[in-house]
Amino acid sequence: MQEPPGPIDEKLLDQISGSLIGLALGDALGAHVEFRPHEYLLANPVKDLEGGGTWGLKKGQVLSLHRILQ
């Protein structure tokens, strides 16, 4: 990897980092209800991050979006 050609704008770097962290958190939290119809979510509200869900995750397991898209 090469060094950047000039100084790095710290504000821009913070925004990029925040965006990536937000993406990872949203993906992890949304995996449990992904593709579920609204009626299902009303009848089965999420109260805790338990196992199961759309992808059959184990309790505490995080979905890796890039693995699904491969």
Please give the pLDDT value at position 10: 93
Grouped pLDDT means (10 residues each) for the chain, 70 residues = 88 92 81 87 85 76 60
Give residue 68's pLDDT.
54
* DSSP track, 1-70: -PPPSS---HHHHHHHHHHHHHHHHHHHHHTTTTT--HHHHHHS---S--SBTTTTBPTT----HHHHT-
* Measured CA angle at 51 (ends 66, 26), to 5 deg: 45
- The predicted pLDDT at position 64 comes to 64
